[in-house]
Amino acid sequence: MSKNVYLDYAATTPIDKQVLKSMLPFLKQNYGNASSLHTPGRKANQAVEKSRATIAHATGMQNKEVIFTSGATESNNLAIKGTFQALNAKFNSLKKLHFITSNIEHHCVLDSFAYLKKKYPKNVEITYLPVNEKGLINPDILAKALKKNTVLISIMMINNEIGTAQPLKKIAQIIKKQKKARSQDQNPMPIYFHSDATQAPSYFSIQCSAYGLDLLTINAHKIYGPKGVGALVIKKGVLIHAINHGGGHEFRKRSGTLNVPGIVGMGKAIELAEKNRDKNIEKITKLRDYFLNQISQKLKRIKVNGSLKKRTPNNINISFLGVEGESLLLLLDKKGIYVSTGSACSSNSLQASHVQLALHNNHLRAHSSIRFTLGKFLLKSDLDYAVQEISKAVNRLRKISQGINQKSECKKS
Amino acid sequence: MNYSAKVMDHFTNPRNLGTLKNPDGVGEVGNPVCGDLMKIYIKISEKNSQEYIQDIKFQTLGCGSAIATSSMITELARGKTLDQALKISRDDVANELDGLPPAKLHCSNLAADALKKAIKDYQNNK
């Protein structure tokens, strides 16, 4: 009997039945445009506002501080480019604007910064914080990187590849001190703290005040909601310009007809994430630990990438030495087991994962890395099957690579 | 990334995998940065006063196409004279596999290079 075991919940998740049910009326009879003044429009608008209130509650913010977008990529683009545009307009004549981020952020964050640097070389400077071999930022290094013109710090809550949880609370304390110093020095530049929390809501609180956040990115499809919808939470008073212009939707911060079914689904997904968080943490932690334990018993020469302690419960990232990730992914795919890899061969860039290299700068280890991400629809028996097939596939590929000198690795310099 | 059926066949059922005892030539190519490393072993014999590849084996650490191209080159080279074998190009290997995805044409299509290196190794040590 063929089995399907989906172990790629960090890529996307299947939709929850309750989420789908909440969306259907807005795809069928309640098709109104939320901006229209007539009855169908008002019904749509009410549903959007209900979802907005749910997200505001989950993030501990006001309804007006929640801006719906097309997803995390757009939210991150808006957070970075939008604050730059607003602050550049305000302070251009005074100073360069300094940004701090980490070198393991998602490409949509790194590429937004790279775009600004390229487009406005005279107005932008960026510091990329390194991570240690556990995949964690050192807050002391961040504190040292701060400048008088630092305006935005963007650090992801949970890394999408290795699942590490960054010390946002410690960073918030550092920023608080900086804010105080600035007010004493009468430095008029604001300093904002943004976090991409895309991978977080199922397992971590997304209360902005708990992390001292001014801006927060979330989306729906990583938490059993629909694709194509996300939000950027923007604290009142944060200076930000829209990057989408048009009808002035979303408090003039994001024009475009609202994706009503998506927004309704996202509200439901967040509601369920909040309600089931403790239960999910317990269930998924047990499954993840069981999975890692079984793999460790069956296979030698494996390395876990990223801290096991400061990590989301649903992620385990393993390098199977002597095996290339794409090969393993393909063999597992044939067995109905779906994973992802940090190997270059799975991308079109010919570059191994920037996250893996930031941790250990070992190319072969990066190429041999496989990300397993778990979710609420998995059973222990699914993992038993997966472990058995992973073990077979790894042994098979190691037979093929036997005799290859694998010591010619690039060591961390 | 879509591989041809032939690539998947050679990847999942690699031909001539392993090593040779006392090989006449060994060719190792690849780069850990790309993640693909390959080793080809050859045994040379003589027939009608011409040297030919009597036996050939490979070992590969790499992606699906790296393994498939290694497997394919062993099939292409076996029984060939050294002159014929030296003429096998990367394109020949890709074509025999019904093509490779564009991103793979360069980085994991190293088998022809490994074969050349093994033949050179034999010729240098003769």
Please give the Cα distance from B50 to B56 (Å, whole number): 17
Token representation of residue B119: 């033949």
Q: Which residues of chain A have pLDDT under 70?
A: 1, 93-94, 344-350, 407-413
Token representation of residue A289: 């630990």
The residues, any chain, with a CB within 8 Å of residue B88's CB and separated by 6 or more, are B73, B76, B77, B80, B112, B115
- B107: pLDDT confidence band, cut at 50, 70 and 90? low
Q: Which residues of A touch B35 (CB under 8 A)?
A: 324-325, 343-345, 352, 363-364, 366-367
Q: Which residues of A touch B106 (CB under 8 A)?
A: 350
Does A411 contact B at CB distance below 8 Å? Answer: no
Token representation of residue A19: 């989420």
Does A330 contact B at CB distance below 8 Å? Answer: yes
Q: Which helix (H) or strand (E) holds B42?
A: strand B36-47
Please give the Cα distance from A234 to A253 (Å, whole number): 10
Chain A nearest C-alpha distance from B103 (Å): 6
CATH class of A5-13+277-397: alpha beta
Our measurement of the distance from residue A118's CA atom to the centroid of its chain's CA atoms, rounded to an integer in Å, reads 24
pLDDT tens digits, A244-297: 999 999 999 999 999 999 999 999 999 999 999 999 999 999 999 999 999 999
Active site residue A208: no
Signed CA dihedral, A248, A252, A256, A261: sign only: negative
Q: End-to-end CA distance of chain A, in Å? A: 49
Token representation of residue A69: 């977008």
How many A×B Cβ pairs under 8 Å? Answer: 90
- Reduced to 3 states (helix: H, G, I; strand: E, B; else coil), residue A161 is coil
Please give the Cα distance from A376 to A394 (Å, whole number): 26
**Domain range annotation of chain A:** 5-13+277-397, 17-272
Chain B nearest C-alpha distance from A328 (Å): 8
Which whole-number Å values give the CA distances from B28 to A21, A183, A322, A365, B34, in the listed order?
58, 63, 16, 20, 15
Cβ count within 10 A of residue A247: 12
pLDDT score at B35: 85
Phi first, then psi, for residue A309 (nearest 5°) are: -80, -50
What residue type is B9 in one-letter code?
Answer: D
CB contact (8 A) between residue A404 and residue B39: yes
Architecture of domain A17-272: 3-Layer(aba) Sandwich (3.40)
ipTM above 0.90, yes or no: yes
The residues, any chain, with a CB within 8 Å of residue A94's CB and separated by 6 or more, are none
Please give the Cα distance from A390 to A402 (Å, whole number): 18
Count of domains for chain B: 1
- Do A162 and A315 contact (CB within 8 A), yes or no? yes
CATH number of the CATH domain containing B21: 3.90.1010.10
